[in-house]
């Protein structure tokens, strides 16, 4: 019987593209050194270099300074990102309705995210997600990263559920879907516009509101 649901954060609960676009536009406004470049050009290039979060921003800022011919301090830009990104965090449509629904069914909820502890924790707080989740696993804090199946074991142990009593929902074919299946959980792929779909997802959803009917069918 289904007891617990684990979620990825970036691209699954957090609309990272929209959040990063809003942050980059705000940082541009506050950084006159870049104003010889048009704002949409700056924002677009920021998002390209970021590669959906898989490139850390030390490299992104060094490239932006170099490409736009700016003599600047990448470390100050990075420090601004670390402290200010969370102010621009937005969740995907239907996020809170879905979480209330799942909690109303008595399910244990967890987040399993790769990333830096303080940064991810700040983003989770900014979205108000601590109120809905029983446990939050961040790779840096635990010394384990997806796709290592042990990170799912750890999360489930804390939630008091076995793998066959749990689902993982995420947008990354390997880190979320394939890895969760290997750890013995059911896996739901949250579709994204990038990359190949996973071969082994149990379900695919495009919107968070599609999750409740799937979960309801698995409950008595
Ligand atoms: Mg993700």
Residue ranges covered by each domain of the chain: 4-15+91-218, 16-88
Position 35 scores a pLDDT of: 98
Q: How far is the CA of 15 from the centre of ligand 1 (A)?
A: 10
pLDDT of residue 193: 81
- The protein residues having their C-beta less than 5 angstroms from ligand 1 (an ion) are 8, 10-11, 171-172
Tell how far the Cα of 16 is from the centroid of ligand 1, in angstroms: 9
pTM of the model: 0.95
What is the Å distance from ligand 1's center to 35 Cα? 32
In terms of Cα–Cα distance, which of 126, 159, 173 is closest to 12? 173
Q: Residue 39 Cα, ligand 1 centroid: separation in angstroms?
A: 27
Enumerate residue ranges in the chain where pLDDT < 50: none
How many residues are recorded in the chain?
A: 220
Distances (CA, A) of 92 to 15, 17, 160, 191, 220: 5, 10, 28, 13, 28
| Rounded distance between C-alpha atoms, residue 89 and residue 83, angstroms | 12
pLDDT confidence of residue 91: 98
- pLDDT over 90, % of the chain: 95
**Topology of domain 4-15+91-218, CATH:** Rossmann fold (3.40.50)
Distance 176 CA to ligand 1 centre (A): 8
In the reported structure, the alpha carbon of residue 105 is separated from the centroid of ligand 1 by a whole-number distance in angstroms of 25
The alpha carbon of 192 and the centre of ligand 1 are apart by a number of angstroms equal to 9
The pLDDT value given to residue 196: 80
């Amino acid at each position: 019987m289904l007891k617990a649901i684990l979620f990825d954060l970036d691209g699954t609960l957090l609309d990272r593209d929209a959040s990063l676009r809003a942050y980059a536009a705000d940082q541009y406004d506050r950084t006159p050194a870049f104003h010889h470049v048009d704002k949409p050009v700056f924002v677009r290039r920021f998002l390209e270099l970021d590669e959906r979060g898989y490139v850390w921003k030390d490299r992104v800022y060094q490239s932006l300074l170099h490409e736009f011919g700016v003599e600047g301090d990448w470390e100050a830009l990075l420090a601004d990102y670390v402290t200010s990104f969370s102010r621009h965090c937005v969740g995907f449509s239907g996020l809170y309705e879905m979480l209330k629904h799942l909690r109303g069914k008595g399910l244990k909820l967890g987040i399993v995210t790769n990333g830096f502890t303080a940064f991810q924790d700040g983003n989770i707080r900014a979205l108000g997600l601590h109120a809905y989740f029983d446990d939050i696993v961040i790779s840096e804090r635990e010394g384990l990263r997806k796709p290592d199946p042990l990170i799912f074991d750890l999360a489930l142990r804390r939630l008091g559920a076995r793998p066959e009593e749990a689902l993982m929902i995420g947008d990354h074919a390997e880190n979320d879907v394939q890895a969760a299946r290997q750890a013995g959980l059911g896996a739901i792929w949250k579709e994204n516009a990038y990359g190949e779909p996973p071969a082994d997802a149990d379900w695919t959803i495009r919107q968070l509101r599609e999750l409740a009917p799937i979960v309801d069918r698995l409950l008595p």
